[in-house]
Amino acid sequence: MSNQPKPKESSELQSLEIASMFQAIAGKGFFGILILDEFYRIEFANGMAAWITGYKVDELLGKNFTSLLDEKGRTVFHRAWQMNYKCIPHLSYEVEIITAASTPMITEMGFADYTMQSGEKKYFIYLRDISDQKRLIGQLRESERKYQDLFDQVDQGITITTKEGKFIDCNPAILKILSYESKEEFLKIDIAKNLYTNPEDRKTFQKIMERDGYVKNYEVEFKKKTGEKIPMLLTSRVMKNEKGEVIGYQGLNIDISERILMEQSLRKERSFLTNLLESSANCIVAADTKGTVIFFNKAAEKLTGYSAEEAIGKFNITRFYPLEVAKDAMKKLRSEDFGGPGKLESLEITLRDIHGEEIPVELSASIVYEGDKEVASLGIFTDLREKIKIEDELHNKEMRLLQAEKMASLGSLAAGVAHEINNPLGGILIYANLLREEFEANNDPRVEDLKRIVEEAIRCREIVRSLLEFGRQTESQFEQLDINQAINDGLFFLENQALFHNIKIVKHLASPLPIIQGNPNQLKQVFMNMMVNAAEAMSEGGGSLTITTGINSDPSSIFITFQDTGIGIDPAIQSKIFDPFFTTKEVGKGTGLGLSTSYGIIQSHHGNIQVKSEAGEGATFTIFLPVSQ
């Protein structure tokens, strides 16, 4: 044994995905499974093999399988292998395994050989604990010691057939599998006609046997006596006479109905899970322990702009976010504080797409384990842009609602105050005008003071009128209205005024524009207020005022925008500009009721006003009004 080559490492199995799948399935099986090299050294052992032998899996690796057998077991093993190689149908044997605790474990042992493409031999051993069945098997062996009894007790179907298609012998298991009551009845059937669902399978089976001398794990469909179809797995070898001529076949017939059902269930489950992951609205990315992407769903393609073909096996996860973020996420994944070890319930990070744009996302992640070993990580990235947008919109709506509530209260207050002021203000104007006429007739120098009194009183009257409009206490008559005409009427009165001399007015008025229901005077007041405010914002250096009308994306409303190139509005005060009495103008130059009155008028027309501005970059006011039905 000292001259034997060192056992090869199992890395070639572990490097193949199919090997990983085999290990996963074998690890959860009910049989102990061992893979031996050509010198019977253990290269692979599953958990059940470890349980049967009492050794840990790592302790089994490299151990010579025959060292687990007692002397009788080793003899059985070598003899059984020779018998199996010579096509004698002994496919499972009872042996005693010497466990780690030096106690014997009675097991059923089966094996098969496989020659790899490299020419290297591999032996597959399965072990099944049959301690509880020992008493029954012992009784059977005591009463029946012949070879046929062992043949009969194999729990899988065994058959011996002629080359021409007749059964020579069979065991009870195949009768049970195919629902035949007696051996005599079964031996009379024609294999090609009565056994195979598809007679061509028999021909294919024979071609392989003649070519290779054996068939291994050949899937076919048999017919039971009842006509019911049943999937079978055949492993057969040819039987030859003394002249080397093929005279028949001996085979193991395994009912794989349960396996097929399990595979179908697994495929269905896997397909469901794959479809679930692929159809998820959230970006799902999996990476191996080195960070290489191994799964990339359609939502990930949509979010990042990369295709799965580009990403899988080629990109490192750091392509999408910095290495520091990846390290921090893995640190949190292994911590107790963020959902428990192996889980990360929520972490807000920024993802980079194919164009380098940063996308705010919420990361939920988990570590994938095989046993205690980390093999991959899975991340679910939820795009927060829409959520942030909705939260901003909700916040704006809450602010507008609060503003509307404030304005409703202030409107009632303003209307009351305006009515109380209106009467004495009328008296002041009447008597001031009478005195002014009298002083003018007498060339009294105090006439200028009276003119000032009249002017201020008129200004107060305008404030009162604005208060009444704000409080909706004035009469409002609605009629069909052409918005473009209302804007042109307002410009007719304003564009020749000194305030507009250095201002370029650009009009983009959609034509035709749907008619709306509204009060012409009130809407003209709103439009003129917007134009005057824009002009005042550009009065120092001039600029341009662009007025645009059109149909909104929702065709049930139209929009009017007033876009200036003025000083803009500080974002800090944008939420206040529609508040009554709020103004940024100097004392004496503004009442703070223009925009609040405009807001109230538009609200009364079932419309809305929005503002978009940055300090120093001008302002855009957009008015939305419903189309007349």
Which residues in 285-303 are b (16+ Cβ under 10 Å) and which e?
Answer: bbbeeeebbbbbbbbbbeb
HSE of 143, CA atoms in CB hemisphere, 13 A: 5
Q: Which residue has the tokens 């940024």?
A: 584
- The answer to whether 425 and 431 are in contact (CB under 8 A) is no
In the predicted model, is pLDDT for residue 180 greater than 80?
Answer: yes
For residue 499, the cross-strand partners are none
| Sheet arrangement for strand 42-45 | 42-45, 32-36, 121-129, 104-115, 92-98
Angle between helix 483-494 and helix 520-537 axes, rounded to 10 deg: 50
Share of the chain above pLDDT 70, in %: 81
Check residue 578 and give its pLDDT: 72
pTM of the model: 0.36
pLDDT per residue over 77-92, tens digit each? Answer: 887 777 655 444 446 7
pLDDT per residue over 83-121, tens digit each? Answer: 655 444 446 788 889 999 988 888 888 877 777 777 788
Amino acid type, 462: E
pLDDT per residue over 233-245, tens digit each? Answer: 888 898 888 888 8
| Sheet arrangement for strand 543-551 | 503-509, 543-551, 557-564, 619-626, 608-613
For residue 516, the cross-strand partners are 481
Check residue 124 and give its pLDDT: 84
pLDDT per residue over 524-538, tens digit each? Answer: 888 888 888 888 888
In the predicted model, is pLDDT for residue 350 greater than 50?
Answer: yes
573-577: list long-range contacts, CB under 8 Å, 24+ apart.
574/611, 574/613, 575/399, 575/403, 577/611
Max CA-CA distance within the chain? 155
> Which of the four pLDDT bands, split at 50, 70 and 90, describes residue 448?
confident
Where does 256-342 show beta strands of DSSP type E?
Answer: 283-288, 293-296
Which H helix or E strand runs over 221?
strand 214-223
In the predicted model, is pLDDT for residue 443 greater than 70?
Answer: yes
26-32: list long-range contacts, CB under 8 Å, 24+ apart.
30/128, 31/126, 31/127, 31/128, 32/107, 32/126, 32/127, 32/128, 32/129
In the predicted model, is pLDDT for residue 247 greater than 90?
Answer: no
Check residue 11 and give its pLDDT: 47
HSE of 552, CA atoms in CB hemisphere, 13 A: 16
> Which of the four pLDDT bands, split at 50, 70 and 90, describes residue 403?
low
SS3 assignment, position 420 = helix
- The answer to whether 374 and 344 are in contact (CB under 8 A) is no
The phi and psi torsions of 402 (rounded to 5 degrees) equal: -60, -40
- The answer to whether 487 and 562 are in contact (CB under 8 A) is no
Q: CATH for 281-383?
A: 3.30.450.20
Check residue 24 and give its pLDDT: 67
pLDDT per residue over 304-345, tens digit each? Answer: 889 988 888 888 888 888 888 888 888 888 888 777 788 888
Residue 512: cis peptide before it, omega within 30 degrees of 0: yes
- The answer to whether 177 and 230 are in contact (CB under 8 A) is yes
Which residues in 25-58 are b (16+ Cβ under 10 Å) and which e?
Answer: ebbeeebbbbbbbeebbbbbbbbbbbebbbbebe
- Please give the class, per CATH, of domain 11-143: alpha beta
- The answer to whether 70 and 103 are in contact (CB under 8 A) is no
Check residue 61 and give its pLDDT: 93
| Cα 614 off chain centre by | 37
Which H helix or E strand runs over 532?
helix 520-537
Check residue 589 and give its pLDDT: 46
Q: Copy the structure tokens of residue 582.
A: 């709020």
Domain ranges of the chain: 11-143, 154-261, 281-383, 386-474, 476-629
CATH topology for the 154-261 domain: Beta-Lactamase (3.30.450)
Question: Does 11-143 match 154-261 in CATH topology?
Answer: yes
In the predicted model, is pLDDT for residue 475 greater than 70?
Answer: no
Amino acid type, 53: T
- Ramachandran quadrant class, 272 (left: phi over 0; alpha: psi -120 to 50; beta: rest): alpha
Which H helix or E strand runs over 129?
strand 121-129
Mean pLDDT of the region 597-607 = 84
Q: Copy the structure tokens of residue 177.
A: 């599998």
Least confident of 198-212, 486-500, 598-612: 486-500
The phi and psi torsions of 582 (rounded to 5 degrees) equal: -90, 125
Check residue 592 and give its pLDDT: 45
N- to C-terminal Cα separation, the chain: 99
Mean pLDDT of the region 61-67 = 92
Match domain 386-474 to its CATH number in 1.10.287, 1.20.272, 3.40.630, 2.40.50. 1.10.287
Please give the Cα distance from 216 to 265 (Å, whole number): 25
Mean pLDDT of the region 399-428 = 69
Mean pLDDT of the region 462-466 = 66
| Average predicted confidence (pLDDT) for the chain | 80
> Nearest CA to 400 among 106, 624, 174, 175?
624
Q: Which residue has the tokens 């292994």?
A: 334
Check residue 10 and give its pLDDT: 47
Check residue 342 and give its pLDDT: 82
In this structure, are strands 619-626 and 557-564 parallel, antiparallel, or unpaired? antiparallel
HSE of 281, CA atoms in CB hemisphere, 13 A: 4
In the predicted model, is pLDDT for residue 144 greater than 60?
Answer: no
Tell which wins on pLDDT, 81 or 13. Answer: 81
> Which of the four pLDDT bands, split at 50, 70 and 90, describes residue 271?
confident
Check residue 47 and give its pLDDT: 87
Please give the Cα distance from 545 to 17 (Å, whole number): 67
> Nearest CA to 101 among 149, 59, 164?
59
Check residue 595 and give its pLDDT: 77
Tell which wins on pLDDT, 416 or 550. Answer: 550
The yes/no answer on whether domain 476-629 falls in CATH 1.10.240.10 is no
HSE of 448, CA atoms in CB hemisphere, 13 A: 1
Mean pLDDT of the region 22-27 = 66
Residue 413: Cβ-neighbour burial (10 angstroms; 0-12, 13-18, 19+): middle
Check residue 250 and give its pLDDT: 86
